[in-house]
Amino acid sequence: MHIAAASTMKHFFLIIFFFCFFFFQEPQAGPIHPHQLTHPLDPLTKQEITLIRTIVLKKYPTKTYTVHFHYVGLDDPEKSQVLKWVFSGTPTPRNAFVIAMINTETHEIIINLRSSNILSDKIHNGNGFPTLTVEEQTEAIALPLSYEPFINSVKKRGLNISEVVCSSFTVGWYGETKSRSRVLRIECFMKSGSDVNIYVRPINGIIILANIDEMKIVEYNDRSMEPVPKAENTEYRASHMKPPFGPKLHSFATHQPQGPGFKIQGHTVSWANWKFHIGYDFRAGLIISTASIYDVEEELQKPRPVLYRGFISELFVPYQDPTEEWYYKTFFDAGEFGFGQSMVSLEPMHDCPPHAHFLDVYGTIMWRHTETGIPNQEIRESRSDVSLIVRMVVTVGNYDNVIDWEFKTSGSIKPAITLSGMLEIKAVEFKHKDEIKKDQHGTLVFENSIGVYHDHYYIYHLDLDVDGVDNSFLKTNLKTVKVTDKSSKRKSYWTIETETARTESEAMIRLGTSPSELAVVNQNKKTSTGNHAGYRLVPALPVHSLLTEDDYPQVRGAFTNYNVWVTPYNRTQKWAGGLYVDQSRGEDTLAVWTQQNRDIENKDIVMWYVVGIHHVPCQEDFPIMPSLSTGFELRPTNFFERNPVLKTLSPNYVEWPKCTKP
């Protein structure tokens, strides 16, 4: 969910770009200078964004036009151009892609940043609206506070208007056939004295609809009155709490005397055997690009490509309450609210391990063996696992999403998602479960407070380029073989059957229905024993959408019909829920693109993977949710000739210095 209307964030041009990564790398913390451009996928610099603004406002001067920027980002070059740059330094075009509302029309503008020319300027006429800006949401949520009927509703409830805080919510699409204005629902909450946990104190029973082009309230209905839940025990800031506190955890220190194990040049990170680029996008947030791994065994002695691009394309959060005040809550956090726009800065010492080496993570085992089988020899060999984690936190209103990309020296990439933040709470009259006679569509997590059932579906765009761009998608199915003759004392065993998906329809997978291993392989690159070099998906717990396929939210979020999809590379097919998601009608989703059923065998392909969580709230999630994590692994599978970390030694351990004066 959904708002993000922080009045302290004045302008979306001020891109907040805080990974754990950049905390102690001050020069890179802000926008970079043009001469620092070291990679064709570097995000736009502050100067470039200023230039774009100047170019657009020159064509559409504000004297004559109202101009609002809804998306400004890199118009990334074609992959072939980027790879030419990677391999031979050939310069690439540097273009920006802008979505701006100019008067009431949506313009798609492409600007050449080298020549400062507008290359194209098209008007979008289809359904769906661009990502909301923070400014228009900030304006919209202020509307009720000066709207007489709402002020009366607040008074009638005995509440104090000075403690009311409102939030904006996208309305979705429910089969309307006529085109509709840009509207938002506004819901309001109560602060309680200094207690800032507004989400647990909704003012229920009031429907407010605001037209954000006209910036006015166009529908208002005070339907019913429910008590606002109490503030007791809902404060989450330590500075505002009274003792007793929980168990006191012992203090600790960590240190890397040689400094952190990674190097950053521009936006390119080198660490151990990995090299990759970190980009930022207003909509996607963090983007990992051109990740390659150095293989000591490889004769060519150059990095082997693995992942051309990886990012979260969309996050779909359908709530499961069909009633008038909740049915519409089926949010698309990237397309509607901007996952990148909602990035927040990380708290050192809490969100990341402390100090300059927060990124090298130690503690587990990379591989080990104790040999007890050889007489008179005791052999024990083990290597520590050290990882590099790139982390961002995206807070879209109540929920906090911690997005990690973990790189391992073994060649694995382990993306992970950790959910925290607040539940969306529905205020009800009940104080005890026994009073509830019909489905309230959630759990009574506190008196008068229902935590409503919902899902979180994150769809990853994983453009793997395993040892080159032409790859195939392999399903290795595990099949029971029954032994019906006397050839074995066994009655059964399993073996594998490998299928290469030829077209998109053959690569639509609902995980968990039958045992299989899924991999992206390079059929042009074989190991010495003849296996295809590949990367395998080790999935998270499979979760499937429970909405019917014809339901409107499901049509819009149809990329959740399957857990895995494979498409041919297409530079513009980035957004699984479509380019224009607010009030979209599902006409531009991954599910629609794949109806072309394009060839995907031995082509440049993209794997899309949906990680889902069904969330039945429990009391522990109130008033703030303990982290719940899930994740998956992209694991090299016959990519290396042998264990690639056989000869990777454990790092040295350094003793704590004993000084008389610390």
Alpha carbon distance 294, 274 (integer Å)? 6
By CB under 8 A, residue 422 contacts a second copy: yes
CB of 572 or CB of 653, closer to a second copy: 653
Structure tokens belonging to residue 634: 């992209």
Helices (H), 403-521: none
What part of residues 247-286 is at the interface with a second copy (CB under 8 A)? Answer: 247-261, 272-273
d(C-alpha 62, C-alpha 102), whole Å: 10
Contact 359, 260 (CB under 8 A): yes
Among 407, 446, 460, 562, the residue binding a second copy under the rule CB under 8 A is 446
Query: Should residue 485 be labelled a site residue for a second copy when binding is judged by CB under 8 A?
Result: no
Instruction: Compute the CA torsion angle 112, 113, 115, 119 (nearest 10 deg).
Output: 20
> How big is the site for a second copy, counted in residues (CB under 8 A)?
198
Quick check: bond before 623 cis, omega within 30? yes
| 254 Cβ contact partners less than 8 Å away, ≥ 6 residues apart | 353, 354, 355, 357
Asked if residue 637 binds a second copy (CB under 8 A), the reply is yes
In terms of Cα–Cα distance, which of 635, 637, 640 is closest to 528?
Answer: 640
C-alpha separations of 382 from 171, 361, 603, 649 in Å: 55, 17, 40, 9
Binding mask 307-336 for a second copy (x = CB under 8 A): -------------xxxxx--xx--------
Residue 393 or 507: which CB sits closer to a second copy? 393
Q: Which of residues 120-159 bind a second copy (CB under 8 A)?
A: 138, 142
User: Per-residue contact track with a second copy, 290 to 309, x per CB under 8 A?
Assistant: ----x-x-------------
Q: Would you call 596 helix, strand, or coil by DSSP?
A: helix
Q: Is residue 366 close enough to count as binding a second copy by CB under 8 A?
A: yes
- For residue 333, indicate whether it is catalytic: yes
Residue 468 CA to residue 521 CA, distance in Å, equals: 10
Choose which of 431, 502, 598, 603 interacts with a second copy (CB under 8 A). 431
Of the residues 347, 429, 587, 599, which one makes contact with a second copy according to CB under 8 A: 347
Q: Least separation, in Å, of the C-beta of 606 and a second copy?
A: 23
Binding mask 171-200 for a second copy (x = CB under 8 A): ---xx---------------x----x-x--
**Is 222 considered catalytic here?**
no
Whole-angstrom distance, CA of residue 152 vs CA of residue 225 = 13
Q: Applying CB under 8 A, which of residues 221, 268, 345, 602 lies at the interface with a second copy?
A: 345
CB 170 within 8 A of CB 184: yes
Catalytic residue among 295, 333, 385, 404: 333
Cβ of residue 535: shortest distance to a second copy, in angstroms?
11
Q: Pick from 543, 576, 590, 591: which binds a second copy (CB under 8 A)?
A: 543
Task: Give min distance, CB of 482 to a second copy, in A.
Answer: 6
State how beta strands 454-464 and 442-446 pair.
Answer: unpaired
Of the pair 55, 445, the CB lying nearest a second copy is at: 445
- Interface with a second copy by CB under 8 A: which range of 74-82, 275-283, 302-310, 626-634? 626-634
The Cα 304–Cα 90 span in angstroms is 19
* Long-range contacts of the stretch 438-446 (C-beta < 8 A, 24+): 441/320, 441/321, 441/322, 441/323, 441/326, 442/321, 442/617, 443/616, 443/617, 443/618, 443/619, 445/617, 445/618, 445/619, 445/621, 445/622, 446/200, 446/229, 446/230, 446/619, 446/622, 446/623
Provide the token pair at 31: 């926008």
- Residue 65 binds a second copy (CB under 8 A): no
Q: Does 640 bind a second copy (CB under 8 A)?
A: yes
Q: Please identify which of the residues 399, 458, 535, 569 carries the catalytic annotation.
A: 399
Residue keyed to tokens 């302290």: 8
Contact call for residue 479 and a second copy (CB under 8 A)? yes
Pairwise CA distance, residues 76 & 73, whole Å = 9
DSSP 8-state secondary structure symbol assigned to residue 485: S
User: Which range in 38-46, 120-128, 589-597, 639-647 contacts a second copy by CB under 8 A?
Assistant: 639-647
353 touches a second copy (CB under 8 A): yes
Instruction: Establish if 218 lies at the interface with a second copy (CB under 8 A).
Output: no
Distances (CA, A) of 99 to 51, 75, 109: 15, 11, 6
CA terminus-to-terminus distance, the chain: 47
Residue 523: CB minimum distance to a second copy, A = 13
Interface with a second copy, residue 354, by CB under 8 A: yes
- Asked if 303 and 291 touch (Cβ cutoff 8 Å), the reply is no
428 binds a second copy (CB under 8 A): no
Near a second copy in 503-532, by CB under 8 A: 512, 515, 517, 527-531
- Count CB-CB contacts under 10 A for residue 601: 17
- Residue 450: other Cβ atoms inside 10 A: 25
Q: Which is nearer to a second copy, 7 or 115 (CB)?
A: 7
Question: Which two tokens mark 474?
Answer: 């392999």
Q: In the range 399-418, which residues lie near a second copy by CB under 8 A?
A: 400, 402, 409-412, 418
Residue closer to a second copy, measured from CB, 65 or 362: 362
Q: Which of residues 225-244 bind a second copy (CB under 8 A)?
A: 233, 236-238, 241, 244
Determine which residue in the list 63, 88, 363, 437 makes contact with a second copy, applying CB under 8 A.
363
The CA distance from 644 to 642, in Å, is: 6
Nearest approach, Cβ of 546 to a second copy (angstroms)? 4
Contact segment (CB under 8 A) with a second copy among 85-93, 98-106, 340-348, 464-472 equals 340-348
- Is there binding between residue 5 and a second copy (CB under 8 A)? yes
Contact segment (CB under 8 A) with a second copy among 26-34, 50-58, 372-380, 557-565 equals 372-380
554 touching a second copy, by CB under 8 A: yes
By CB under 8 A, name the one of 6, 14, 215, 218 that touches a second copy. 6
Catalytic positions, written as ranges? 333, 399
